[in-house]
Structure 1
Amino acid sequence: MNNNKHVLAATIGFMVGAGGAEPVVAKDNYDDRQGPAVSLEEIVVTAQKVEESIQTVPIAVSAFSGEGLDDLKIERGEELLRAIPNVTFSKANFSGYNFSIRGIGTKAVSASTDPAVAVSFNNTPLIRNRLFEQEFFDLQRVEVLRGPQGTLYGRNATGGVVNALPMLPGPDLGGEIEAEVGNFSTRRVSGSLNLPLTDTFSLRFSGALTKRDGFDTNTFTGRDVNDRDLYSTRAIAQWQPSDSFSANFIWQHFKEDDRRSRTGKQLCTRDPGPGVVGSTTVPTASLQARLSQGCLPGSLYDSDAFGAPNAAGFANVWFPGHVAPVGFRADGSQAFIIEPGEDPYAGVRQSRDLREIETSYDPVFRAENDLFQLNLEASLGEHLQFFSQSTYASDNYYSSQDYNRFVSDPNFTDSTGLFNVSGALVDPDPPTPGGVYTDPQLGPSRGVLSVDISQSDNEQWSQEFRLQSAFDGPFDFSLGANYLDFESQDDYYVFNNLFTYLAEYFYNFESGDSPFIETRNCDIDEQRECVYVDPNPLGQLDDQGHNYFLSRNLVRTKSWAVFGEAYWQVTDAVKITSGLRYTQDEKTATPIPSQLLLGSEGRGTRTGASSGGRVSRGYPALPDIVQNWNRFTGRFVLDWQTQTPFTDETLVYLSFAHGYKGGGSNPPRVDLDPKVVQFQPLDSTFKPEFVNAIEIGTKNSLRDGSLTLNATAFYYNYRDYQVSQIVDRISFNENFDAESWGLEVETAWQLTPNSRIDLNMGYLDTRIGKGEESIDVMNRTQGNEDWMLVRPHVQVPSNCIAPVELVERVLSFEPILDRTVEFPLASLCAGTARWGTFTPEIESNLAWYQTFGFVYNPLTEAPNAGRGFAADLSGNELPNSPNFTFNLGLQHIFYLSDWELKLRADYYRQSDSYARVYNTTYDKLEGWDNLNAAVTLAHPSSQLQMQLYVKNIFDDSPITDVFTNSDDTGLSANVFTLEPRIFGFSLNKRF
């Protein structure tokens, strides 16, 4: 198939790019349009806040007009990678995304993280935006600047800037309307209306609406998912009472409400756990699972990756199967909600089709975004312009989906007809009648069901003032100041019916009673062990429940800066640009620890002896974490314009830039009482990141302007690059030094008035700094045979490692019972003082030490406090940094009487890369390609256009990125992929 793909690509390329051959047209139309090549259309950009040709700007910048975006079929921000060298894009967890330029992107997903690539609308950077979801419409152009920014734009950005500039009202009445239909029942309508009301006041209205059926299939429900139902509107009012003053006000609204899946399929190479520890056979499958990490770090491209985690070792599965019985059978044996050692996912084998999932819960996605912007421009004399830009933006989203993309086996025990310890029938309303457990949030289910919610509520205010000169002499400047105030609340929930079961039937009982004798609702005033269960359904939560996981992140960012650039035209050919920025950032995070299955023994008493919690309900906040940074950044550019014997115009430039991006705080972890449960320490904050960038580039115009050839070489020295992974159920951010260098080539050639070639190539070499280390949650032992992985208690989120010798000593204990040895096994991890680990002086611990004959404290005796051995990252590649990216576009126009027939094909390829800093087989992302084609028939005199297009012609579904889930859910991998083959037909009419 792969060879056929390349043959087909070559065939299409030959067909579309046959500019050297005589086109099939009527002879009477073979006129000057078929003559010598003509100049390429000049691209005017405002990358330096003034209008100038892109070929004279000493910055690596790519720009696309609205028409150019349509030619390339670039409809959203994620598709820009197909036209820009050394750019990658992929979705990420929690409704985020990673737009990466030259290997620098946003791999840190904490709520307090700033984007490395700033996304701006009409020059205003938006910390939260809908670049992935929202479709482009009615734009002047999109500009993408590569490299550190800050002296021209309103926010520090270490990777670059994506700036979308809308069409503004003009003096003439006009507009356009476009309708489109396509596969997956696509229906799309867009349009604009320019309405001049007076000579000085005009309005412009525009909008776009898309509806599309789902292109992924839920084989469990038989319904399609990943559909689209979204719309955008924009209204702009512009007033220009004189040549020296103008003002415009912009309102933009976006809304989506559909079944978009936040993540793709969930893959796992199942880990059965060790059969032998040392020379001792692990006696039961249940204990074997308790020594399994759930999923192994195998290649995501192997058939074994389409399994499911070994869930028999999950704490929330093990406890109901060993510790929390629902009653006695007639023969006197205990009955558990899940039989001991049973794996709810034992029979799961997933389809190898990445567009097929199996889930009992279809995804829900809602997003809404509003932006209000006031722009003022005034002339202060003949040579000075004053600009003011005031922006308010709000962004809200809600996304819910099955935490897993596979379905548990029906394995709940029928608890009707069971007896209690007194020989009487268990409550007539047992927890699992007929083998069905009803969760207040998730409803009834015969097996394990888990659902998550990611939601966010954000507001941003920003104000920028700027003064720009246009003197007649050799000196000019741009001077500005801005202020930004951003507030966000990000909530991430995980619901699991076994969490609720444990809260109801294990922790909520009278002290001294067995859990299956009497269960009671949680009352915080009572002096007993208590875990509050939220009785409300999804959408009406009281946010007090400890029967679900809730990570709530409240962050406020205040930032102000002064910045500017000075331009000195040393000679007619040589110019120096010098820019400086001073930034003061303040971030305030309100830590709100999670409380999953944590309770207390009542007000005024000691904390929960079983659960390890401090409160029975609610989410008390810890003191605010306030961080401040004050930094100078800047750039220096020397450029030289000249002509050479083989070019019409040549620009050569050398630049140095210093970039900065603020640090932040890691989300708070579980609120455990160290007297009851102890776990591994982690840093509560992460550092800012800095980059020193050197770039040399040249921009050339050749063959009377019909050919542009631009090339860039760059070197980055990066300090404290921010990368995160899930540790202890939070997005834990780390910092790594790194360096990278690369080459980029961008060329456009108008071979004839009818034929055009666009070619972009990028080479990138990234390396993490010497001596950098990190603990790989997929491989905590790093091959050390004297240590092995152990799963913790239910309250402790992360796996740890323990000495093989001690694990073997516990496993060899006779008589062997899973419950007898599971607690000391888990205590080897991070442990509970109640059950005996760190402090043998505590009387309740002595039995364990006397039984097994050792005293062990993982915080002091295990590497990195039990978290594991650190992996050496020296020389590894940065994530999402393919060595090669390649874009080729071929276009040819046939003139048929009064009609123009345009054929265009665009081919994109990126080479292999890695999803994580560890560069293991598990992290490997195979290279992939993408081919798109369009046929456009236009009638210029009537401004009518028809287009037939196909995107992703080969219907490929490459894995574009991976995000690894937490230890306590088995380290499964959420994968992200491209949309499938999409074709459509559109009709456009301008007036």
Structure 2
Amino acid sequence: MASAACNRARLAVTASAFALVVAAGPALAQDAAPSQDATSVGDIIVTAQKREQSIQDVPIAVSAFSAENLDAMKIEGGSELMRAVPNVSFSKNNFSMYNFAIRGIGTKAVSAASDPAVAVSFNNSPLIRNRLFEQEYLDVNRVEVLRGPQGTLYGRNATAGVVNMIPNLPSPDFEAMLKAEGGNYGSLRGQGMINLPLGEQFAVRVAGGLTQRDGFDYNSFNDTNINGRDLWSTRLSAAWTPSDRFRANLIWEHFNEDDDRSRTGKQLCANDPGPETVGDAIDFNDAARSHLSQGCRAVSLYDDASYGTPNGGAAAIVFISGVGAGFDEFGNVIPATNVTLDQMNPYFGVTQSRDMRDVATYFDPTYRAKNDVVQLNLEYDLTNNLKFISQTAYSKDDFRSTQDYNRYVSNVIFNNIDGAYNYIGEKIPQTAIVNGYYRDPQLGSSNRMVSLDLSQSNNEQWYQEFRIQSNFSGGFNFNVGANYLDFKTQDDYYVFNNLFSFVSEYFYNNGSPSPGSPTLTTTACDETAIKECIYVDPTSLDNLAGDGHNYFRSKNVVHTRSWALFGEGYWNLSPEVRLTIGLRYTNDEKVSTPYPSQLLLGAEPDGSWGASTGGSISRGYRAMDDIKQNWDAVTGRLVVDWRPREDTLVYASYSRGYKGGGANPPRADINSEVVQYQSLAETFDPEYVDAFEIGTKNSFYDGRVRLNATAFYYDYTDYQVSQIVDRISLNENFDAKSMGLELEAVFRPIPDFRIDANLGFLKTKIGDGEGSIDVMNRTQGNSDWMVVRPWLQVPSNCVAPTKHVETILQSPLAADFGVVALSALCSGSQRWGTFDPNFDSILPFWAFFGFTYDPMTEAPNLGRGFTADLSGNELPNAPRMTANIGAQYTFHIRDWDLTVRGDYYRQSSSYFRVYNTDYDRLKGWDNANLTITMENMGENLVVQAYVKNLFDKAPIVDAFTNSDDSLLTTNVFTLDPRIIGVSLSKRF
């Protein structure tokens, strides 16, 4: 058992929020012996270069946090590390992963084929998909954060840095721990650990933890609390040391979560009613006006208008559902929707609370995640100075989450349409809508428009690394190795809407029984169909077949294989000067299997392309040819460090980083004879960075002050950023530069008082000449062009000449099919029209209005819009300043030590997209935390009370813009509310 003095020293090391420069290494690193002067800051032994070194001897910008550090600052998971590391930001993303950004570089590419820019490792094994930012820390030895490219030793996707979680491994002494905690929101948390030596050569360690609490958010529609937690983790590890030369350990960790965690927060929208007039257009009805609306306008997320709801009439699915859905026996239209609500806007009059934790949704979220990691580590001393290391790891990750796709509830929209006939004269069965309720196979029965999304992912990874490292007493040492990674993933993303099923059944199915259909009686979409048919999947959400065309499904299958050879050499050029040279060769292969989406696409009974939908198949999702990509890259680093005196280190480094490219997800499988698409890139390029850094690490006043400083400059080529285009995550590449300064300091004037702080300054800049199309501002202020909504099966808005829009709206024919003609102005819809008298060609609808127009040649970027100039813009999620200061004081009361600690974090404003408009701006925000810890060293007993987010702030920390056909709504993310808790822990 550690002495009281040693324990106090370790508790003091708790502080580091500004300068916990303590760095990262594998599972063998331990705290160094305490300084002879009890007022010194102390030292930590790390293995950031995969060898044991003092933190102050490592020429890398690195922070590391022991279990005591994490507990004192109440950093309970990876997402909270940003509070303690300079120039770091964190946010969840819209689907199943997250963006952990270091120095402005993170993971803004979100497709299945993209890789993280920050390598996340478990005990030095990289995990491409993991739950280390969702699960809570369990029996941790330390967490390491290395800033800057670390590709030489840590792998292919470490262009921004590395986050490495190091667990405690079995030790030769018996020890055990129990911890119980309770708090507000019905929070209950428990952890336990036992370490059992079984003889002199073998030991096992078992740890477990669980957390349960009620939801942070309130669903005002269902009167339920949501966004709660029900999760648990276990870890079993064994260590075997049969001889002085051989060591082995085996680790199995399991994580499980099953609760109502929300992937996103509120969904904001500033309603776009559409233009009041277009030129001198007359008879400008609400239907046409809505067809010229985006749904939501681009205004600041902090404007009161952003807490509105979209113009639902702008959605093509609403338009087609409400007009011509049924006819009476005399041929008069019987609308399926209640058009008395602001001309088919199902959100007319719906408002939102400004409370970020009040979310009105029809469906409560569900969240299930399961992750297993198995790791085998072997070490063998070839000689007294040469060590062979093998690390084998297998991981499996499964994830499934549902939540309301529209984060607000529509009005009642369905009518009773008994006695109606569809557009080809078939009587619509009364079972379709009963008493104004429509029953959707996946979403159930409702009289409102309801929508739900499902994000799920299945991943499997193998990793093997071999290394040989030296420990010579002379002036040269090395670390060389090879590794191999095999990663398979299938990501599925679904969007369900009861109007999708409604349109499929009313317009395209037959009227005879189909097995299992809970709504209309329809036949299966096969050779027995009598007209174009869209298959409606009759299975429930929990047992989804996944082959229906009555919902959107993005299926992405990717297989990545990567191998590398790497090595570093360390030369002591003199007693004060050391040179480090590292090189790495990486070979990556990615095979992506595209499965185009099939929403509302059908086919004729003979299997030909659909006459109206543009589909080629009625049921299922067919794979296209594999997209095979291969890259190789040579990366490395060069470091010179100089120690002018014992307590000062000065270093300068150059490093080159690399991250692989990938394939963009496939778009809808629409036959080009019916619909022509806007052109989009099928793949995106790898990204590279050249990083230059200078730094100094210093101790002053007999170790009472530690001050470390780093300055850096990055030159980025092809940085990867995503946006939603044509219902896919389109990844684009931009050149960029990043530069900044980081300061970390610890001041301990007396043994019982400590202040620590960190400060980061950052300036990022997108390269000159870079551009992209802003889906929120496609015209870029050009009044000669307007945004127009396409036809139902076409995903994205387009721009069209204002003069042609005016011509269509002024025509007497506008009342008959003006909205259809407006849709035909989009390049994705230009084939829509009618046959000419000779039936040998198709005339586009706008041809009836007296002009000719080819959007594929006459419109900017094939109709997608005008390119926004990004030159000089800041990268997303790159605040110019981050700062944290923490202070603690220990009072000695008989057998108890009472430590009071406070931490304050501040992040300046930033942007969540590359366009840097007022809509993209995220205001700066802050966070304060307080802990009071009482520790009885003799009894190994600790009582702690804490408050996290002391002032109950709910800032917008990140945002995500949804697709055009989702009406350009914005999902936003915020912090957890104020959390109050008390814990009791006992060590044995």
Give the TM interval when normalised to the shorter protein.
over 0.9
- What residue in structure 2 maps to residue 544 of structure 1? 547
Alignment of 1:181-220 (within 5 A): 181-220=182-221
Secondary structure in 2 aligned to 1:480?
strand
- In structure 2, do the counterparts of structure 1 residues 797 and 815 end up closer, same or farther at CA, with 3 Å as the change threshold? closer
Secondary structure in 2 aligned to 1:318?
helix
TM-score (norm 1): 0.93
Q: Give the distance between the partners of 1:625 and 1:299, measured in 2 at CA.
A: 40
- What residue in structure 2 maps to residue 731 of structure 1? 729
TM-score (norm 2): 0.94
CA contact 1:369–1:393 (8 Å) conserved in 2: yes
- What residue in structure 1 maps to residue 11 of structure 2? none
- What residue in structure 2 maps to residue 885 of structure 1? 882
CA contact 2:360–2:408 (8 Å) conserved in 1: yes
One-letter amino acid of the counterpart of residue 535, structure 1: P
- What residue in structure 2 maps to residue 962 of structure 1? 959
- What residue in structure 1 maps to residue 109 of structure 2? 108
Q: Give the distance between the partners of 2:78 and 2:491, measured in 1 at CA.
A: 23
Deviation at 1:490, TM superposition (A): 0.2
- In structure 2, do the counterparts of structure 1 residues 189 and 809 end up closer, same or farther at CA, with 3 Å as the change threshold? same
Deviation at 1:839, TM superposition (A): 11
Deviation at 1:834, TM superposition (A): 5.3
Secondary structure in 2 aligned to 1:941?
coil
Q: Give the distance between the partners of 1:554 and 1:52, measured in 2 at CA.
A: 42
Report Cα offsets for 1:232-254 as digits up to 9, x if no partner.
10010000011110000000000
- What residue in structure 2 maps to residue 714 of structure 1? 712
Alignment of 1:346-745 (within 5 A): 346-418=348-420, 426-427=427-428, 429-509=430-510, 520-526=522-528, 528-604=531-607, 606-643=608-645, 649-745=647-743
CA contact 1:834–1:844 (8 Å) conserved in 2: no
Q: Give the distance between the partners of 1:713 and 1:761, measured in 2 at CA.
A: 12
Deviation at 1:326, TM superposition (A): 2.4
Report Cα offsets for 1:158-190 as digits up to 9, x if no partner.
100000001011111111110000000100000
Correspondence 1:933 to 2:930: yes
- In structure 2, do the counterparts of structure 1 residues 849 and 919 end up closer, same or farther at CA, with 3 Å as the change threshold? closer
Deviation at 1:703, TM superposition (A): 1.2
Deviation at 1:283, TM superposition (A): 1.6
Q: Give the distance between the partners of 1:423 and 1:829, measured in 2 at CA.
A: 31
Q: Give the distance between the partners of 2:207 and 2:244, measured in 1 at CA.
A: 26
- In structure 2, do the counterparts of structure 1 residues 583 and 422 end up closer, same or farther at CA, with 3 Å as the change threshold? closer
Report Cα offsets for 1:70-95 as digits up to 9, x if no partner.
11110000100000000000111112
- What residue in structure 2 maps to residue 61 of structure 1? 62
Deviation at 1:957, TM superposition (A): 0.5
Structure 2: which 5+ runs fail to align? 1-14, 17-33, 513-519
CA contact 1:649–1:701 (8 Å) conserved in 2: yes
Deviation at 1:539, TM superposition (A): 1.4
Q: Give the distance between the partners of 1:737 and 1:470, measured in 2 at CA.
A: 41
- What residue in structure 2 maps to residue 29 of structure 1? none
- What residue in structure 1 maps to residue 891 of structure 2? 894
- What residue in structure 1 maps to residue 248 of structure 2? 247
Secondary structure in 1 aligned to 2:947?
strand
- In structure 2, do the counterparts of structure 1 residues 731 and 837 end up closer, same or farther at CA, with 3 Å as the change threshold? farther
Secondary structure in 1 aligned to 2:560?
strand
- What residue in structure 2 maps to residue 89 of structure 1? 90
CA contact 2:723–2:961 (8 Å) conserved in 1: yes
Secondary structure in 2 aligned to 1:942?
coil
Q: Give the distance between the partners of 1:371 and 1:313, measured in 2 at CA.
A: 47
One-letter amino acid of the counterpart of residue 678, structure 2: Q
Secondary structure in 2 aligned to 1:590?
strand
One-letter amino acid of the counterpart of residue 38, structure 1: T
Deviation at 1:830, TM superposition (A): 2.5
CA contact 1:337–1:432 (8 Å) conserved in 2: no
- Between 1:37-46 and 1:482-491, the stretch displaced more is 37-46
Report Cα offsets for 1:847-866 as digits up to 9, x if no partner.
73552111211111100000
Q: Give the distance between the partners of 2:885 and 2:763, measured in 1 at CA.
A: 22
- In structure 2, do the counterparts of structure 1 residues 848 and 231 end up closer, same or farther at CA, with 3 Å as the change threshold? closer
- In structure 2, do the counterparts of structure 1 residues 50 and 229 end up closer, same or farther at CA, with 3 Å as the change threshold? same
CA contact 1:389–1:463 (8 Å) conserved in 2: yes
Report Cα offsets for 1:100-141 as digits up to 9, x if no partner.
000000000010111100000000010001122111111111
Secondary structure in 2 aligned to 1:283?
coil
Deviation at 1:422, TM superposition (A): 11
One-letter amino acid of the counterpart of residue 677, structure 1: V
Report Cα offsets for 1:600-649 as digits up to 9, x if no partner.
10235x31011100100000000000000011000000000122xxxx61
Alignment of 1:93-172 (within 5 A): 93-172=94-173
Q: 1:870 aligns with which of 860, 867, 884?
A: 867
CA contact 2:767–2:872 (8 Å) conserved in 1: yes
Q: Give the distance between the partners of 1:146 and 1:837, measured in 2 at CA.
A: 60
Correspondence 1:764 to 2:762: yes
- In structure 2, do the counterparts of structure 1 residues 842 and 809 end up closer, same or farther at CA, with 3 Å as the change threshold? farther
Structure 1: which 5+ runs fail to align? 1-15, 18-32, 512-517
One-letter amino acid of the counterpart of residue 57, structure 2: T
One-letter amino acid of the counterpart of residue 527, structure 2: D
Alignment of 1:205-354 (within 5 A): 205-281=206-282, 283-323=284-324, 325-328=325-328, 332-339=332-339, 341-354=343-356
One-letter amino acid of the counterpart of residue 735, structure 1: N
One-letter amino acid of the counterpart of residue 702, structure 1: F
- What residue in structure 1 maps to residue 27 of structure 2? none
- What residue in structure 1 maps to residue 25 of structure 2? none
Deviation at 1:509, TM superposition (A): 4.2
CA contact 2:61–2:710 (8 Å) conserved in 1: yes
Q: Give the distance between the partners of 2:804 and 2:167, measured in 1 at CA.
A: 66
Aligned-residue RMSD, C-alpha: 2.1
Give me the identity figure in percent: 58
One-letter amino acid of the counterpart of residue 165, structure 2: A
Q: Give the distance between the partners of 1:790 and 1:832, measured in 2 at CA.
A: 11
CA contact 2:721–2:731 (8 Å) conserved in 1: yes
- In structure 2, do the counterparts of structure 1 residues 848 and 170 end up closer, same or farther at CA, with 3 Å as the change threshold? closer
CA contact 1:840–1:855 (8 Å) conserved in 2: no
One-letter amino acid of the counterpart of residue 944, structure 1: L
CA contact 2:138–2:208 (8 Å) conserved in 1: yes
Q: 1:922 aligns with which of 906, 913, 919?
A: 919
CA contact 1:590–1:624 (8 Å) conserved in 2: yes
Deviation at 1:150, TM superposition (A): 1.4
Report Cα offsets for 1:197-247 as digits up to 9, x if no partner.
110000001111000100100000100000000001001000001111000
CA contact 1:403–1:494 (8 Å) conserved in 2: yes
Q: Give the distance between the partners of 1:99 and 1:422, measured in 2 at CA.
A: 54
Secondary structure in 2 aligned to 1:751?
strand
Secondary structure in 1 aligned to 2:128?
coil
Q: 1:826 aligns with which of 823, 827, 837?
A: 823
Q: Give the distance between the partners of 1:303 and 1:297, measured in 2 at CA.
A: 13
Deviation at 1:37, TM superposition (A): 6.1
One-letter amino acid of the counterpart of residue 571, structure 2: W
Tell me the number of residue pairs that the alignment of Structure 1 and Structure 2 aligns.
946
Deviation at 1:281, TM superposition (A): 4.3
Deviation at 1:953, TM superposition (A): 0.4
Secondary structure in 2 aligned to 1:921?
coil
- What residue in structure 1 maps to residue 5 of structure 2? none
Q: Give the distance between the partners of 1:215 and 1:898, measured in 2 at CA.
A: 38
